[in-house]
Each structure stands twice: as C-alpha cells, then as structure tokens.
A = this chain, B = another copy of it.
Amino acid sequence: MIEISDKVVKSIIVERPSDSYKGMFGRVLLIGGSLNFGGAIIMATEAAVNSGAGLTSVATNINNLSSLHSRIPEAMFIDWQESNLVKVIKNSNIIAIGPGLGLDEHAQSLLQLVKRTVKNTQTVILDASALDLLAQDHTLMPTNAETIIMTPHQKEWERVSQIKIPFQEDKDNFSVLKSLFPDNNGILVLKSNHTKIYDCFGNIYQNPLGNPGMATGGMGDTLTGILAGFCGQFSAKIETIASAVYLHSLAGDELYKEHYVVLPTQLSAKIPQLMKKFSLE
C-alpha cells in the first residue's frame, strides 16, 4: 500500500505546454441531477471546471438548467430526455454518471445507455445513485470502457460488493473488483476517512488527508467532478485518481483551518490555486 504524497501529485499535475488548446484537456460529460437532487450535479460540474476540464457538458433534468448556468456558465447543457444524448456520450472522453441521478426508470435507462454506448477509448466514473443501480443489477456495468472508476463510500460498497462494512478487507475488495472487471479495467475509490484506491493488479493507494469538516452533503459529488477533470487532462491511471483524491482532501484541509464546516462549492473554488502550486514545484 502506498500513501499518497505530494510527490505523486507533482508527477501528475505538470505545466501545460504553451501550444495547448481546450480539446487537449478532455471532453467531460457529467450525467445526473434529478428534480430532487439538482444541486449534486451542479457541485460536480463546478469541481470539474475548476479542475481544468477542457470542455464540460452536463446531461440533467431540464429543471436544473437555470441554476446550472447561474453558477457555472462555463458548462454546456443537455436535457437528459433528449435523444441526441447518445451522440454527446460518443463524443466525450470522460463520462461521469451518478451525482443526484436518482433510482427511477429513467435513471436506469441512462446508465444502460452509457453501458451500450461507451467504447474502449473512454473512461467512465460511477458514483452515488449509479452505484446503487449497479448493486441491484451488475449487468449494468459499462465494462467496454477503457477504464471504469467506482467511487462508493463504505455503505454503497457494501451494497455493490455484498461485503458488510466491518469486513471490507483489502483482499476481499480486490476479489470483488476482479470479478466485476474480468478485463482488469476497473478502479475502486473506497471513500472513508482513510479513502483507499484499488486497481485490479493489487495496487492500493491510501489518502492520508481529510478532516471531519468535510462530513457534509455534496462532498462526494465534488470529488467526482475533480476525478472527471483530472481524467480529462491527465491519463486515467491510478496515480491520477490518487492525485484527485489527495487534492480534494488538501483543499478541504486548507478550508478547515478557518472553517468548522467545509462547503463543497468553496472547496471547488480552491482547486485552481492548489493545482498551480503543484505544477510549479
């Protein structure tokens, strides 16, 4: 097991080449935000844009359009009922599904659409409701993607893996991971106050940072957005994912010095400055 450190993050967040253009930094698609949980997808979007995603699109309930643009006009919108969503999925490098997605039939059909559509050049991130849908039906796993990242907290992982929280030992987690991903293309981000990241090859990264002020609704949605932003810019490997987890906590720790509770939207706003520091060192 490797403890994530500044060194790992520095190896990932490098200075951009001077002849950069936005297409180089990923076409990120975020899918989520039902009528009841629109804030979740907005928080994920703010995190993705602040983490440097080149182009960010959001497929969500039409009711979330105004608030999305009010907070983050940098993102593009698609009504998640629209039939041309399939085209947007095809054109994206990173598809993150789950924040505020909900569990109804439409949510299920969206996960199915992602599964049917993605190819082995794309990364899929599965979070929140998407994981609960998977727990009900493992065939929904979009295994065709190049890389599939799951980001459950311990209770969600219990539902997906059928391993009760006290028994979520590394070897058991690996075993489920390998059975879910016969092609070894899955990565598990198991969120707790000592978040661990597992790949199918036996590697584990553990996060030494974080604080109890981050125990507030929306913190996970924000991590999903950072992961999407990072995978859009840097290659979707375990070190990139570890860096996203670490930076999320580091931003939270900076805020926690002065704030009893850490608001997810304030955390996102800190990301560009922290990334700058790592890129310069």
List chain A positions with a Cβ less than 8 A from chain B.
13, 15-22, 24-25, 35-40, 42-43, 46, 49-56, 63-79, 153, 193, 211-213, 215-219, 257-265, 271-273, 275-276, 279
Shortest beta-carbon distance from A21 to chain B in Å: 5
Whether the Cβ atoms of B16 and A42 lie closer than 8 Å is: no
Compute how far the CA of A257 lies from the CA of B17 in the bound complex, rounded to whole angstroms. 15
Among B18, B63, B69, B262, the residue within 8 A (CB) of A193 is B18
Known contacts A76-B36, A263-B74; is-contact A18 B212 (Cβ 8 Å): yes
Compute how far the CA of A71 lies from the CA of B70 in the bound complex, rounded to whole angstroms. 6
A-B contact pairs, 30 of them (CB 8 A): A16-B212, A18-B193, A20-B215, A21-B153, A22-B217, A24-B215, A25-B215, A35-B79, A36-B78, A39-B69, A39-B75, A39-B76, A39-B77, A43-B73, A49-B261, A49-B263, A51-B261, A52-B260, A52-B261, A55-B216, A56-B217, A64-B69, A65-B67, A66-B66, A67-B69, A70-B70, A74-B217, A76-B217, A259-B276, A260-B276
